A and B are shown apart, each in its own frame.
Chain A
Amino acid sequence: MLKLRIERAPAPLWFRAVIPVIAVLATFILVSALVIVAGASPFSAFFELLINPLTKTTARADILMMATPILLTGLAVTVAFAAGYYNIGAEGQLYAGGMAAAWVGTQLQTESPFLMIPLMLIAGFIAGMLWALLPAILKVRLQVDEVVTTLLLNSVMLFLVSALLNGPWRDPVSGWPQSPTILAAAQFPVLIPRSRVHFGAIVAVVVAIVVWWVMSRTRFGIEVRAVGKNRDAARFLGIPVGNRILMAALISGGIAGLAGVGEVGGIHYYMTGTLSPGFGYTGVIVATLGFLTVPGAIVSALFLALVNRGAISASRELDVPVYLGDVIQAALLLVGLATLLLGRYRIRRVR
């Protein structure tokens, strides 16, 4: 008789490569229930979600556009989590960056995009860093849990933005609670004609390359990751743990700020209170699904953007609420994490 035994040993490599596929399939099976309740067939829903957007050039461009901010927040979260620092405040840091970008974009009187855009990026990065500073210092100096502080500051930033946009920074032209439109020099160039894919996508790719290189090829990056893996061992090795955590947190905030810059400079051209529908939190999903690696983050960001774009087309064609995309994202995160465990066991035949 065939007897099998499950051992706690790493599963064969081919199986581990298949795991993401299993996760995706399992997620979609689970989510089918919702689709059926909404009155559509799961197959047509998944067609709309996954296949359809890939067939149309406008939709493909949309995917690149939607992937840009979440790739940046995903990278931000990756850097922070790699140090063991749970930065959930990417949302607020994103808004900080957007505000700074809008400020530079409206105040700096210049016609040259070569001056304007880099300054916006720098300002946004610094703003994101500053917003991440307080929780980081509290964590490093006073051991205050960063999860709560970063979370609370998200809310505070939203209030701050609302106060500014409803008050001293309201657009006198339109009267809406948004900032005045940024100058033409500040508007990010569009990369693909007749689409909304903007310069921010290039920024995201560049940041991805830089982050990858720093995290895997520099002493600093390796130290940061060591701190994340085992703080005490790192300290024992002489790595300045507090400093590395602080740096990781600040860099993370800066990158999230860049995401905000992209949204202001490339999509809206002004600052608004609804700049981000949760990009900061989606970044956590991107980072986790990407196993805290840069290539993984890129793939996850593109995949999630595909799902979100697909959810829009599913809502148009099939009358399924667009929130399906959000549900799939979250389910993918949880299922993905759970299926990772499958890679820890292997099945052996016992004679």
Chain B
Amino acid sequence: MLRISTPILFASLGETLVERAGVLNLGIEGTLLLSAFSGFVTAQFTGSLWLGLLAAVLTGVVLSLLMGLLTVTFGLSQHVCGLGITLLASGIALFAFRLIYGGASTPPALEASFSTLEILPGTSFAPLLSQHWLTYVSLLCVPLVHWLLYRTAFGLRLRAVGEQPEAADTAGINVYKMRYMALILGGAFMGLGGAFLSLAQLGAFTHGIINGRGWVAIAIVIFGNWLPYRVLAGALLFSGVQALQLRLQAQGVALPYELLLALPYLLTIVAIAFVGRNASYPAALLKPYRRE
């Protein structure tokens, strides 16, 4: 369950930061795919997993910067631009995938992927605590993001920009710069999420490696009311149900397995419906800021 949650957690945390600053980045799905791909390709051609990780993070950052250019600087519709970026990034990833690997029937795989890190082996905690190190990082990122948002001046400025950019601007905060910073951080997180899938969990790359998890991250941010710990809960809930589905499927339960696959999505919708009423949207979400 922790393993499944990692990419979702990274993506959700990244999106939380971004949305807190007032930008809805719908480009997650495509960003994850292209990051996973670029990380994979880099790792395969350089032989270094770390360079692959770096490439993935850079990809996430670049795509988020593009989002920033379109929505922060140009002030275009965040919905459409985010979708456009998802489509663009997915298209580029698949284009390059086909170009480099042809129509291979078996997915290309790395020789060695990031291995799991075992903490306290031999104890009864061992099964829980032998995760990829990126999973531990993702969990550590939750208090990190919380600290960043609530205990630092940076976080305060970021939240101000997301709630009342006019007031923030009057107070001397550069709204554009803050939004860009949020996007850069968010993009880095998304890069990590994508890298986890292709470099750690699978050690390979396929078309469907992301499989809709980018969209789920957006939902989880709302479910988590833009609070890092609630987002963690949401990510765990979602991946918990998915893990349950895998377990039930392995035991040959009679339910069609697609129903179980759909369950986390349905639950998320239900959850959002309940949370939706009290959702404390960052007030300036979706509104481009213009200095008049």
> What residues of chain A have their CB less than 8 Å away from a CB belonging to chain B?
34, 37-38, 86, 88, 134, 138, 142-145, 147-149, 151-156, 159-160, 162-163, 166-167, 278, 281, 284-285, 288, 321-324, 326-327, 329-331, 333-334, 337-338, 340-341
Is there contact, CB below 8 Å, between B215 and A162? no
Query: A155: which of B91, B212, B257 is its contact (CB, 8 Å)?
Result: B212
Which of B92, B256, B276 is the one whose CB lies under 8 Å from A34? B92
Interchain CB contact under 8 A, B70 and A338: yes
Asked whether, in the complex, the Cβ of B276 is within 8 Å of the Cβ of A333, the reply is: no
A35 to chain B: closest CB distance in Å? 10
Counting CB contacts under 8 A, is B229 at the interface?
no
B200 at the interface (CB under 8 A from A): no
Q: Out of B80, B92, B218, B257, which one reaches A333, CB within 8 Å? A: B80
Q: A163-B259, A166-B256, A330-B91 are in contact. Are A138 and B99 (CB under 8 A)?
A: no
A337 in contact with B95 (CB, 8 Å) = no
Chain A residues lying within 8 Å of B66, measured Cβ to Cβ, are 334
Q: How far is B66's CA from A152's CA once the two chains are assembled, in angstroms? A: 25
Once A88-B83, A163-B258, A285-B87 are accepted as A-B contacts, the answer to whether A327 and B92 lie under 8 Å apart by CB is yes
Assess the B218–A147 pair: CB atoms within 8 A.
Answer: yes
Closest partner residue, chain A, to B223 (CB atom) = A148
The residues of B that contact A147 with a CB separation of less than 8 Å are 24, 26, 79, 218
The listed residue with most A CB atoms (<10 A of its CB), out of B66, B76, B90, B91, is B91
Asked if A156 meets B87 with Cβ closer than 8 Å, knowing A142-B273, A143-B277, A338-B74, the reply is no
CA distance A341 to B75 in the complex (A): 9
Chain A residue with minimal CB distance to B82? A147
The total of chain B residues at the interface (CB under 8 A) is 44
Q: Which residues of B contact A149 (CB under 8 A)?
A: 269, 272
Question: Is A330 a contact partner of B87 (Cβ separation < 8 A)?
Answer: yes
- Tally of A-B Cβ pairs under 8 angstroms: 132
Q: List 18 A-B contacts (CB under 8 A).
A: A34-B92, A148-B219, A151-B215, A152-B219, A154-B215, A155-B265, A159-B259, A163-B257, A278-B87, A284-B80, A323-B91, A323-B95, A329-B87, A330-B90, A333-B87, A334-B81, A337-B74, A338-B74
Q: Given the known inter-chain contacts A156-B266, A163-B256, please indicate yes or no for A323 contacting B94, CB distance below 8 A.
A: yes
A-B contacts besides A88-B79, A163-B259, A334-B88, 12 pairs, CB < 8 Å? A38-B95, A134-B269, A138-B272, A143-B277, A147-B24, A148-B272, A151-B219, A156-B262, A160-B262, A281-B83, A330-B84, A330-B88
Q: Would you list the 4 A-B pairs with minimal beta carbon distance, nearest first?
A: A330-B88, A326-B91, A330-B87, A163-B258
A159 and B258 in contact (CB under 8 A), knowing A142-B276, A144-B273, A329-B91? yes
In the complex, residue of chain B having the shortest beta-carbon distance to the beta carbon of A165: B258
Would A326 and B83 be within 8 Å (CB), given that A152-B216, A152-B219, A334-B88 are in contact?
no
Q: Which residue of A lies closest to B261 (CB)?
A: A159
For residue B98, CB closer than 8 A to chain A, the reply is yes
Residues of A contacting B215 in the complex (Cβ-Cβ under 8 angstroms): 148, 151-152, 154-155
**Residue B249 lies at the interface, judged by CB distance under 8 Å to chain A:** no
Query: Interface majority SS on A: helix, strand, loop or mixed?
Result: helix
Question: Which chain B positions have C-beta within 8 A of A163?
Answer: 256-259
| A-chain residues with CB within 8 Å of residue B212 when the two chains form the complex | 155
CA distance A149 to B279 in the complex (A): 15
**A322: chain B residues within 8 A (beta carbon):** 98
Are A144 and B272 in contact, CB atoms less than 8 angstroms apart? yes
A residues less than 8 Å from B90 (CB atoms):
326, 330
Cβ-based interface call for B2 (8 A): no
Alpha-carbon separation in the docked complex, A341 to B77 (Å): 12
Query: With a CB–CB cut-off of 8 A, which chain B residues contact A340?
Result: 76
- CA A284 – CA B76 in complex, angstroms? 15
A285 to B215, CA, bound (A): 18
Complex CA distance for A340 and B70, rounded to whole angstroms: 12
Most chain B beta-carbon contacts within 10 A, residue among A154, A159, A166? A159
Q: Is B190 an interface residue (CB 8 A)?
A: no
Nearest-neighbour CB distance to chain A for B67, whole angstroms, equals: 10
Q: Which residues of A contact B218 (CB under 8 A)?
A: 147-148, 151
Which residues does chain A contribute within 8 Å of B95, judged by CB atoms? Answer: 34, 38, 321, 323-324, 326-327
Bound CA span A152–B269, Å: 7
A151, A326, A337: the one within 8 Å of B76 (CB): A337
CB B263 to nearest CB in A, in angstroms, measures 9
> B87–A338 contact, CB under 8 A?
no
B42 at the interface (CB under 8 A from A): no
- Among A321, A329, A331, A337, the residue within 8 A (CB) of B81 is A337
* Of listed B84, B85, B279, residue having the most chain A CB within 10 A: B84
**B149-201 residues at the A interface, CB under 8 angstroms:** none
Determine the distance from Cα of A323 to Cα of B266 in the docked complex, in whole angstroms. 31
Chain B contacts for A134, CB-based, 8 A: 269
Nearest CB of A to B190, in Å: 17
Q: Whole-angstrom distance between the alpha carbons of A61 and B236 in the complex? A: 50
Smallest beta-carbon distance B87→chain A, Å: 4
**Bound-state Cα–Cα, A144 to B277, Å:** 7
Contacts of A145 in B (CB 8 A): 222, 272, 276
CB neighbours of B77 from chain A (8 A): 337
Please measure, in the bound complex, the distance between the C-alpha atom of A147 and the C-alpha atom of B94, giving whole angstroms.
Answer: 25
Q: Is B113 an interface residue (CB 8 A)?
A: no
Query: Does any Cβ of A come within 8 Å of B268's Cβ?
Result: yes
From B70, B87, B256, residue with most partner A Cβ within 10 Å: B87
Distance (whole angstroms) from the CB of A304 to the closest CB of chain B: 12
> What CA separation (Å) do A329 and B83 show in the bound complex?
12
Q: Are the C-beta atoms of B91 and A148 separated by less than 8 Å?
A: no
- In the complex, what distance in Å separates the CA atom of A38 from the CA atom of B94? 13
User: Contacts A321-B95, A327-B92: A152 and B265 contacting too (C-beta < 8 A)?
Assistant: yes
User: CA A209 – CA B261 in complex, angstroms?
Assistant: 40
Whether the Cβ atoms of B276 and A321 lie closer than 8 Å is no
